A and B are shown apart, each in its own frame.
Chain A
Amino acid sequence: QKEVEQNSGPLSVPEGAIASLNCTYSDRGSQSFFWYRQYSGKSPELIMFIYSNGDKEDGRFTAQLNKASQYVSLLIRDSQPSDSATYLCAGVNQGGKLIFGQGTELSVKP
Chain B
Amino acid sequence: EPEVTQTPSHQVTQMGQEVILRCVPISNHLYFYWYRQILGQKVEFLVSFYNNEISEKSEIFDDQFSVERPDGSNFTLKIRSTKLEDSAMYFCASRPTENNSPLHFGNGTRLTVT
Contacts and interface: CB of A to CB of B under 8 A. Distances in A.
Contacts of B99: 31-32, 92, 96
Prevailing SS type, chain A contact patch: loop
Given A92-B100, A96-B99, A43 B56 contact: no
A38 B43 CA distance: 10
A22 B48 CA distance: 27
Interface in B41-78: 41-45, 48, 55-56
Contacts of B42: 88, 100-103
Q: Give 6 nearest A-B pairs by CB, closest first.
A: A102-B42, A100-B43, A43-B105, A32-B100, A43-B108, A46-B102
Interface of A: 31-32, 34, 36, 38, 41-46, 49, 51, 88, 92, 95-103
